[in-house]
Every structure is written in C-alpha cells, then in structure tokens.
Structure 1
Amino acid sequence: MSYPYVRTCIRRTCGVVQLQSRRLSQGFNDEKQHVTVEKQGNICLIGINRPEKKNCVNVATARQLLNAFQEFDRDDSVAIAVLHGKGGTFCAGFDLEELSQEENLVIPEGSSPMGPSHMVARKPTIAAVSGYAVAGGLELALLCDLRVVEDTAVMGVFCRRFGVPLLDGGTVRLPKLIGLSRALDLILTGRPVTGKEAFEIGLANRIVACGTGLGQAVALAANIAKFPQRCVQVDKASAYYSTFDSKSLQDALDYEREAGLKVVSVESVEGAKKFMTGVGRHGSFNLLHPPKRSTGT
C-alpha cells in the first residue's frame, strides 16, 4: 500500500521556524553528524538529519541522539525539548541496511538501538511528527511526553514484517498510552495508523495540518515553557511514577505529596504572591508581567 499524500507532504517545507543551528559538541568530532540541536529561547529543538534515509537511525545517529537528550536534560538554560525530523519525515525506524550488515550489532550499555528511548527525561518533551513515524521512529515519538501529529502522517509498527522486535519501549509505553487492546492491534498486525486515527485513539495529543507540525509543536512548547518549571517537572515525575512505578494507590499518593511539597516554598509561595497582584487571574496565563496598578488622581 502506498501513501502519495505522505510523499506530497514530505516535499513541502515547514518554513515556520528560522533558527541558527549548532552541531553537537560532545565527542565523536570526526563522526558525521546526523543530529542537530537548536535553541529558541528556552526551547531546545533536536532534529534527526538523515533525510536521504527517511531519517532512519543507525548506531552513530543513536549515539548522537542519546548525547543530545542527555545534554538537554542537564542544560539549565532550556526548559523543554521538541524532537523532529528534517526533510518532512519524522523517523522511519532503525537503518535496516546497517542491521543487515551487522549480525552481532553492539548497542552501547545504557543505550538502546534508537538512542535515548530508555531515558525518562526530567523535563517535558514533545514530538513533532510528520511523514512517517514507524517502527523505532514510533518508539521515539512514544518517548516524548506529547505528540503533535500532522494529519497526513503515518505511524505504525512496520518492523513487524521484517522480524525486528520492539526494543525501544514500544511494548511498554504504547499499552499505557492507548490501552492494551489497541496497542496489541498495532503491535501484532503492524498496520498503518493515519494521523486522524492516532488522534482518535489517544496516540496523538494534537492533530495539525501538513507542514505545520514543527511550528505547532514549538508553539505548544512555548506555552509550557513559560510556567514555573520546578512544579512542571515534579508533576510530570509524579504522573510517570503513578503510571509505571507505584506499588499501590497509597504509594502513588504519598509520592505525589512528598514530591510536591518540595516545590511549595520554592515556587508556590511566589506564585501565590503574583496571584495577589492580579497575575494569572480570570484564566490569564501572563505569568511574567503583573498588571500595572492604577495610581488614581
């Protein structure tokens, strides 16, 4: 089955974010760089840059992606990351050409075939999905907290047809996101999922027009990045703990309370003071500049 509408979308250019790129600086300087890291204010954009391979990830790219995510999580100057693919497609999985030549493929300890997929980032992450997000590419999208998916995108466990298992969290994260029954449907059949269906089953958080995914993801990131970030990170951690790690409801509630109390004196008191000046009232999210008080005459 072919998807001409995906190929049409890939030929378009987003043209929504003009940024100055900087290449990863950590190690492997003689290695061709297939990952770009860009900053827009306190937003970090991580791009997979192998468009001639539909952004398939090989061992070098996986290592660079892992470095990029680790650097992002350590960098106090950025609050949130957007993962995207260059050239109009997100990621078509692991590079099967490389896999076919490596019978004893070595994956670095602490890593995974796609790179950062076994990480749980401290900060929020968003996937901007265009074109194909299949096999390991789907798993990279699942790594992120939110997914902004273009309406012409195609997602799925396409590695099923080649006997390649899900090694990057697909069988772990997908059932938690969309339920076991729906997850097994995708995992066992390897069928394609359109952007519309992805949104309907909860795989996509936002569905947007073709060619606008990156811009919409950056806009969503900007909305999240303006909030007090310690609180954002603590609540994210509590949600993940209750979903994946908690032993009981009481355990999850205790974790939430203990984690939340740590930020009350740091951010909550200051937030309450801002509220008393009028900031954030009536649904306003202008947290940076309190309204000017009338001095009267």
Structure 2
Amino acid sequence: MPDPVRYEQVGAAAVVTIDRPERRNAVDGPTAEALHAAYQRFEADDEARIMVLTGAGGVAFCAGADLKAVETYASRLSLAEGPMGFTRLTPSKPTIAAIEGYCLAGGLELALWCDLRIATHASSFGCPERRWGVPLIDGGTQRLPRIVGLGRALDLILSGRIIDADEASAIGLLTEVVPAGGALERALTWAEGLASFPQETMLADRRAAIEGVGLPLAEGLLLEAEAGPTVFADAVAGAARFAGGEGRGGAGAGV
C-alpha cells in the first residue's frame, strides 16, 4: 500500500502532501499517524525552515476525516497530538497551507493550523460535518475565531455552509488567492522568502504573536519583551546592515 503522506525537501521548505486523491485526501487513522510522523520529522530537521502542507491530485486539499473509516479514529480522539495527526500541537517554525479544491471539515482545521493559507480561486471552505453531527475536535473552534473573528467563525461553525475563495479571502481566512494550479508554487515562494529573513527574530515575533493572542495586553507585552535580550545581537547586526544601505526601498522583502 502506498504511503498516504509524502515528505519532500524543496529548498528551505518541507512539503508534506496528503496523498489519497481517491478519497479527496480525507484522513483516516493511518494517514493521521503518517501526518504526525511528518510533523515530527519537520520539527527535527534544521534544514527545513518552513512546512508547506498540501493535498495531491488538484481536486482537494483535504475533505476532512474519512467518515468511511471512522472506526480507525477510535484510538486517536484523546491523543495529545490530535486526531488528524498534529492539530493539538504548535509548531516551532512557520507553516503554510497550499490549498487546491475542497478544504472542508477536518481539512479546514488542518488549514487553520497553518500560519498562512494560499488557495486557488476554485477552492471551497466550510464545516459540513455539522450536517452529520460530527464535532470539530482538531482545533477549529479555537483557531477559526482567532483568525476571522467570533461572529464570522460562528456563522461557519453553526451553519455548516460552504464558502468560496473570494468570501474566504474577504473575511480574512486566506492570505492570498492564486490561479488554478498555482497554490503550491506560490507557497514555496513564500517559504523561500520567509527563510531568507534572520530566523531568530522572526521566530521570536511569531511565538509572541501566537502565545500572546489570548492574553490581556499587559501580559502580552511582557511576553513580547522576553525575547528582546535574546535577539538583541541580531537586531544590532540588522541595524548595521540597514545603515549600510541594505533593504531600503523594499529591497529584500522576501515575498
């Protein structure tokens, strides 16, 4: 049986591909285990600065949990890493979803797990599991409100309606919308751009934003300040490069 998840190093990116196009890349128990293994490999790989998550076949990013194999999830519901593989974990490095086609139910939760979401115009998004009484248990109830706001999140969570890429972009769900076939290429361009920046300060800023989003402002500011002494040397070096003319006028913006 072929591996349901592929892991490839492309430049600075680890490209993790759900490879079950015959099931619209729906995730069963073995696929979830393979996703968790890919995540662990990414975290351990110092050469992989960005993870790009995508689906094979061009029809679906991921249509969610494979409801025809739901029994394979029984042992995963309480796992610390999450039923879909890694959705209850927070990666230490940036992640990007490259979305072509259906991004639904648990598939949407996988996309929400990522920092950035690049999708094609024909992609669609939603929580159709509402119709079958299947709960969101891979972070969707927590991440969607943080990304689009509580009111818009409740619209999608309660109604189960499907939205297109234009509406998803309008409500802030998507980082960028690209032509058909272009999501992975654009995500890799983003990855190379992010990888070109000084990493310590970028990762510190990312960590402060993610961990501070639910904190009172005063606590969030303290969290942000913690990174200052750690990355000060990088800041001094960067300031010297700027003084020397590097990066002015938008040059070297990365993406």
**1:92 corresponding residue in structure 2:** 63
**1:105 corresponding residue in structure 2:** 74
**2:249 corresponding residue in structure 1:** 282
| 1:263 partnered with 2:235 | no
**2:180 corresponding residue in structure 1:** 210
Q: Percent identity?
A: 43
Is contact 1:279-1:286 (8 Å) kept?
no
- Distance in 1, matches of 2:19 and 2:177, equals 23
- Distance in 2, matches of 1:181 and 1:160, equals 17
**1:142 corresponding residue in structure 2:** 112
**2:217 corresponding residue in structure 1:** 249
Assess, with a 3 A threshold, how the Cα gap between structure 1 residues 201 and 286 changes in structure 2: closer, same or farther.
Answer: closer
Q: How many residues align?
A: 252
**Residues 129-278 of structure 1: pairs in structure 2 closer than 5 A:** 129-244=99-214, 246=215, 248-265=216-233, 267-278=234-245
Deviates more, 1:76-85 or 1:109-118: 109-118
- Distance in 2, matches of 1:227 and 1:86, equals 29
Residue of structure 2 aligned with 1:46, choices 1, 16, 31: 16
2:239 partner letter: A
**Residues 68-79 of structure 1: pairs in structure 2 closer than 5 A:** 68-79=38-49
- Give 1:95 shift: 0.6
- Distance in 2, matches of 1:263 and 1:198, equals 36
| 1:82 partnered with 2:52 | yes
- Distance in 1, matches of 2:61 and 2:26, equals 9
- Give 1:119 shift: 1.1
Secondary structure at the counterpart of residue 158 of structure 2: helix
Secondary structure at the counterpart of residue 152 of structure 2: helix
Is contact 2:7-2:38 (8 Å) kept?
yes
Which consecutive unaligned segments of at least 5 residues does structure 1 have?
A: 1-30, 288-297
Is contact 1:235-1:260 (8 Å) kept?
no
- Distance in 1, matches of 2:30 and 2:162, equals 28
Secondary structure at the counterpart of residue 166 of structure 1: coil
Is contact 1:80-1:221 (8 Å) kept?
yes
2:242 partner letter: F
Secondary structure at the counterpart of residue 120 of structure 1: coil
